[in-house]
Amino acid sequence: MRRIFLRFYLTVVICFLVSSLLIGALYKHMIERTNEHYLADIFQTTISIVESELGDLPQSLWHDEISRLRAKLPVPVQIEAIDAYTLNPTNKQALADGDIILLEDQGIYLHRIPDAELMVALGPVPYLERIDNLSWPDWIALFLMCAALGLPTWLWLRPFWRDLLVLIKQSRRFGAGDFGTRISLDEDSPLGPLGATFNRMAHDVEELSSSRQAMIDAISHDVRTPLARLRYRLEALKAGAPNEVQVAGIERDLNAIDQLIEEWLTLRRLEHQRYAMEMQPLEIVPWLERQLSELATGGEPITLNDITPVKAPWLEADSYYLSRALGNLVSNARRYGKGRVDVTLDWRDGWVRILVDDDGPGIPLTARARLLQPFERLEGSRNVATGGYGLGLTIAGMVMHGHGGELRIDDAPGGGARVILTWPSPLKDVNKLV
C-alpha cells in the first residue's frame, strides 16, 4: 500500500507542479505584455513632466527641482550622468536617439535629456520585479497545496487497495486448487469488472475440472468392464473353452473399447474452441434416407417425414458431424425405446429442424439439462443392459453448437422422448437449381 500510495501521490504532485509552472509562465507572459505598454505610457508621461519642469531652469538647480518633484511623482526619479550605467551597444544607441530604455535587472527606466549629458532615471520600481522570483510565502503555499493532495489520494487508493488485497487472497486460494473460490466486491468498486471476470473464469475452470474428473472416472469404469471380460475370455481359452465363442466375445469387447475411444476423441475435437464446421450445400432428403437405412440395419425400419415447404430441399450443413449427431440420437432412441423411431425434417423461418421421436418412457423434465453433460445417463446406475457411454447427447449438442444452433429435449406425441436438432440454414429447391 505504501509503495502504491507514494507512486500515485508523486505522480499527482509532479503533474500539479508542472501544470502550475506552465500556467504561471503563461500568465506572467500575458501580464508582462499587457502592462508593458501601460508602464511605458506612465513613464513617458512622467519623463515629459520632469523635462518640462527642468527646461526653464539652469542645470545647477535641476537636482533641487528633482528633489521637490519626487514627492509628487508616482515613481522614484533621479538626474544621472549619461555614463552612470553600463549599457550594451543597443541600449546606448537607443538612449542617444532619445528613446526610453529599461534596465530589466534593476527595474530602472532611462531617458536622455535633450541637449545635455544628463539623463532622467526612473526607478527602481518594485512592481517590475521578476514574477518567477518566488519568495518564501510562495514556497510555503506550494508545499501546503502538495500536502493537501495527499488526502484525496489516500481516500481514493484506500478502497482500491482493500479490494486488491481481496483479489490477491482469493487468487492464491484459487491457485492452491480451491476452484470454488469466488470474489465478492462492492458494486461501485473500481475493481468490480476484474472481480466479475475472475468469477467467470473460476466458474469455467471449476466446471472444466469437474467435467474432466467425471470423464476420467467414467472412462476408467467403461474401459475396466470390457477389459475384465477380455481377461475372463483369455482365461477361458486357456482352460479349453470353445474358440469361436470366446473369439467373438473378444471382438465385441475390442469394438466396445474402440467405440469408446472414438466417442471420446470426437468429444475432444468438438470441445476445441477454434474448431469450425465445414458448412456445405446438402441435398438433405436423399442423405437422410441413406443414413437412416444404414442405422436401421438389423432392426425395425425408421420412418422419415419431410414437411419442408419444397419438394427437394437443399440445406447447408457439415454432413460428417451431422451424421454423427443423428446416429447418436437414433442409437439412443433404439436403446431406450421399444423399437420404433420416427425422424421428421422441417424448415421454418430460416431454421432447420430434425426431430427424432421414440416410443420409450420419455425423459423427465428435471433430467434433461443434466443429460447434455458428458457421461451422464438417465438411469440411476450404469446399466449394462442398455450400454452406451453417456456421450451421445453431449456430442450431438456440440455439433449443433458448431452449426450455430442447439439441441433440445421434448416429449414425443406418442409419449416417448423427442430430441430436436435445429440450426440456421437457407432453403433451396433442388428442382429449381437444375
> Cell numbers of 355, please?
426431430
Predicted local distance difference test score (pLDDT) of residue 385: 46
Which residues, 6 or more positions from 410, have their beta carbon under 8 angstroms from its beta carbon? 417, 418, 419, 420
Which residues, 6 or more positions from 64, have their beta carbon under 8 angstroms from its beta carbon? none
Q: Which amino acid is at 408?
A: R
> Cell numbers of 230, please?
477380455
User: Which run of H or E residues covers position 314?
Assistant: strand 313-317
Query: Which of 5-9, 28-32, 145-149, 178-182 is predicted most confidently?
Result: 178-182
pTM exceeds 0.85, yes or no: no
Of 106, 104, 110, which Cα lies nearest the Cα of 122? 110
Of 324, 334, 379, which Cα lies nearest the Cα of 356? 334
Q: State the chain's mean pLDDT as an integer.
A: 77
**For residue 381, is pLDDT > 50?**
no
Q: Phi and psi dihedrals of 349, rounded to 5?
A: 55, 40
**For residue 8, is pLDDT > 90?**
no
Calculate mean pLDDT across residues 219-239.
77
pLDDT-derived band at 345 (thresholds 50, 70, 90) equals very high
Predicted local distance difference test score (pLDDT) of residue 220: 67
Give the strand order in the sheet containing 118-122.
77-81, 118-122, 108-112, 101-103
Q: Phi and psi dihedrals of 237, rounded to 5?
A: -65, -40
Residue pLDDT, tens place only, 290-318: 999 888 876 778 889 999 998 889 999 99
Least confident of 34-38, 180-184, 338-342, 368-372: 34-38
Alpha carbon distance 222, 316 (integer Å): 36
Q: H helices of 176-283, where?
A: 192-238, 243-271
